[in-house]
Chain A
Amino acid sequence: MNPSAQDILRGCVQNLEELVMPEIGSPHGKSALMCIRMLMNHVILRLEHEGAALEVDCHEKRDLFSELLADHAISKEIADAAIDMLGTDEPSYTPIQEMTARNDAWKRLVEQTLGDAGREDVRALVRRQLRAQIERENSYCGPALDGPMF
């Protein structure tokens, strides 16, 4: 989706700082708001860096334990656990921006196909996949809109 989750949070921080913060009188409210602001900035950074950082860290630790095993530098109990871990490949990480760009390209192709679709069977196939897309998107949008906003 555009804006990204991070950019939504950046807007929330700006609105908190400019519109909400000046209205808060109680020290408890102010303190909570300052913490919320910092935590939102923390979440923005986590969304941007955490996946890639975990991927690198897993690979570094894999290399580390491979070396420790080769050197017989760890106890049998830890070595067995490490061998078990080394038996599984490290999961690869794909940033959301990359997934979004790829998904947008597919969606553009769907738009083109529906624009051209003269054949009803083609349209029906594409619509069936769209239904699945809509259900997935609604699962992380619908529950969030749970009350009046004005």
Chain B
Amino acid sequence: MPLYQPLNQPQMTSYFAQLFPERTNIRLETIKRSYPGMSRETWWVTTAWDEAGEVSRERFVVRLDPPGGCLSDSPLEDESEVYRLLHPTAVPVPRLIVHEGRAEWLLEGREFSVREWIDGEIEPACLRDGSDAATPLKIAIVKEQMEKIATIHALDWEALGFGAFLPVPSDPANCAKEEVWRHLDMLDRHAQEPLPALREIGRWLLDNPPPAPARIVLRKENNGIGEEIWRDGRIVGMCDWEGASLGDPALDVAVALNTTGKYWNDEDALAYYNEVAPHPVTEESITWYRRFWAFKAACALHSGLRNYNSGRDRRVQLLTLGCLYPVIVQTNLASAAGFGERS
């Protein structure tokens, strides 16, 4: 299996031609793979075509699993469905053009999605400004992040149809425990070696669950500075929904705070989220979900080694993430769980 599979240009040209039959002589002008794209490949494609003696252009984003398969269990089709369902809502997401799963168009056997391109930047420029004058701008950025995740949390996910393909927790009181069970089950299916300490940390999380949330919400999970598309201090596109899930909103807030802490302190950021969100989350929940996020990452990254060991995906980043990171997480969380070095 090659480490790097270039996008099949002739096939994609034919694909765009049948997608837009009215665009004469459509061609792929530029193709660039986004970095790092570990879990899924994201390609930025500029198409050009002839129109009334001029050349017209439109950019798209093509998303597909790596040749060795996705690191997560979540199929690409589910991610596409998230974009489709969210687009008419107040959550800013790019429009899904198509999810392609027809056999004749698969790219080396892989399904793919095509979505619209949104202009913007991944990191607002003010965040790189070290002057005092930039402080209010940085706080405004964190507020915008909190507002947008609160917007996601306010959605009626049942009415929108998310319950049809995302696992639905049995009730708010058990949603945290069910997440831990899902990840212990992931280890049962994918662990490449016995991991008694990581499993014991899972059991400790089960024995010490957070307070139940007021309601189950839709979550982006992988969110925060560096994860969204920004323009003029506003989030104009929330991308990378492969981790979308239903559960306690505290997880999204905990993940966001991991990226916003250097721009605004966690207490004020959490207080602001609680001002704008439909239901408040507690510091206790944030602490639990920060630990759960690390545990979840350790389970998922270790499980990613199955693709390396089977020879399907030999990228070295899988090794750094899968061999080293879980051991460090294990060390840190064991202290919290009462059997680590600092306990």
A contacts, CB < 8 Å to B: 1-3, 7-8, 11-12, 14-15, 18-19, 104, 107-108, 110-111, 114-115, 127-128, 130-131, 133-135, 137-138, 141-142, 144-145, 149-150
Which B residue sits closest to A142, measured CB to CB? B328
Q: Mostly helix, strand, loop or mixed at chain A's interface?
A: helix
Q: B330 to chain A: which residues have CB within 8 Å?
A: 134, 137-138
- Contact between A107 and B196, CB atoms less than 8 A apart: yes
| A1, A107, A130, A135 — most chain B CB neighbours (10 Å) | A130
Q: Secondary structure of the B side of the interface?
A: helix
Instruction: Report whether B319 and A3 are in contact in the complex, using a CB–CB cutoff of 8 Å.
Output: yes
User: Across the interface, which residues of A come within 8 angstroms of B197, CB to CB?
Assistant: 130, 133-134
The 4 closest A-B pairs by CB, nearest first: A107-B194, A127-B339, A141-B327, A110-B196
Q: A2–B192 contact, CB under 8 A? A: yes
Question: CB within 8 Å of A: which residues of B?
Answer: 2-4, 35-36, 192-197, 199-200, 203, 305, 308-309, 314-317, 319-321, 323-325, 327-328, 330-331, 334, 338-341, 343
Of B2, B315, B324, which is in contact with the most chain A CB atoms at under 10 Å from its CB? B324
Verify A141–B323 contact, CB threshold 8 A: yes
11 further A-B pairs in the complex, CB-CB below 8 A; given A114-B200, A142-B327: A110-B194, A128-B339, A130-B196, A130-B197, A130-B200, A141-B328, A145-B324, A149-B317, A149-B320, A150-B35, A150-B317
| Nearest CB of A to B282, in Å | 28
Cα(A138)–Cα(B334), bound, Å? 12
For residue B299, give the distance in angstroms from its CB to the closest CB of chain A. 14
* A8–B319 CB distance below 8 A: yes
Q: Would you call A12 and B324 a contact (CB within 8 A)?
A: no
Which chain B residues lie closer than 8 Å to A150 at the CB level? 35-36, 317
Is there an interface contact between B323 and A131, defined as CB atoms closer than 8 Å?
A: no
Report yes or no: B200 in contact with A127, Cβ–Cβ below 8 A.
yes
Inter-chain contact B199/A114, CB cutoff 8 Å: yes
Q: Which residue of B lies closest to A141 (CB)?
A: B327
Number of A-B contacts (CB under 8 A): 102
B321 to chain A: closest residue by CB = A149
**A128 partner residues in chain B, CB cutoff 8 A:** 339
User: Closest CB-CB distance, B74 to chain A, in whole Å?
Assistant: 21
CB pair A114–B2 under 8 Å, yes or no, is no
B199, B321, B334, B341: the one contacting A111 at CB < 8 Å is: B199
Give the shortest distance, in Å, between A105 (CB) and chain B (any CB).
Answer: 8
Closest to B193 in A: A2
Contacts of B4 in A (CB 8 A): 18-19
Cβ of A150 to closest chain B Cβ, rounded Å: 5
Q: Are B196 and A131 in contact (CB under 8 A)?
A: no
Shortest A64–chain B CB gap in Å is: 41
Contacts of A138 in B (CB 8 A): 327-328, 330-331
Contact of B309 among A3, A127, A137 (CB under 8 A): A3
A11–B328 Cα distance when bound, in Å, is 22
Kindly list chain A residues whose C-beta atoms are within 8 Å of the C-beta of B3.
14-15, 18-19
Residue of B nearest to A146 (CB): B324
Across the interface, B341 reaches (CB within 8 A) one of A12, A19, A131, namely A131
Inter-chain contacts of A2 with B (CB < 8 A): 192-193, 305, 309
Selected from A114, A133, A145, the residue in CB contact (under 8 A) with B320 is A145
Q: Is the CB of B194 within 8 A of A11?
A: no
A residues within 8 A CB of B323?
1, 3, 8, 141
**Distance in Å: Cβ of B329 to nearest Cβ of chain A:** 10
> Given the complex of chains A and B, what is the CA–CA distance between A135 and B196 in angstroms?
14
Across the two chains, which residue of chain A brings its CB closest to B191? A2
With both beta carbons as reference points, the residue of chain A lying nearest to B334 in the complex is identified as A134
Contact B319 A111 (CB under 8 A): no
Q: How far is the CB of A145 from chain B (nearest CB, A)?
A: 5
Cβ-defined partner of A145 (8 Å) among B194, B325, B343: B325
Chosen A-B contacts, 7 in total, with CB atoms closer than 8 Å, are A2-B193, A3-B323, A12-B316, A19-B3, A134-B330, A137-B327, A150-B36
**B193 neighbours in A (Cβ, 8 Å):** 1-2, 104, 107
Q: Give bound CA distance, A76 to B324, whole Å.
A: 54
Q: Which chain B residues lie closer than 8 Å to A111 at the CB level?
A: 194-196, 199
From A19, which residue of chain B is reached at the shortest CB distance? B3
CB nearest to A15 among chain B residues: B316
- Across the interface, which residues of B come within 8 angstroms of A145, CB to CB? 320, 324-325, 328
How far, in whole Å, are A2 and B35 apart by their CA atoms in the complex? 27
A134 / chain B contacts, CB cutoff of 8 Å: 197, 327, 330-331, 334, 340-341
Query: In the complex, A8 Cα to B323 Cα: how many Å?
Result: 10
Tell me the smallest distance from the CB of A124 to a CB of chain B, in Å.
8
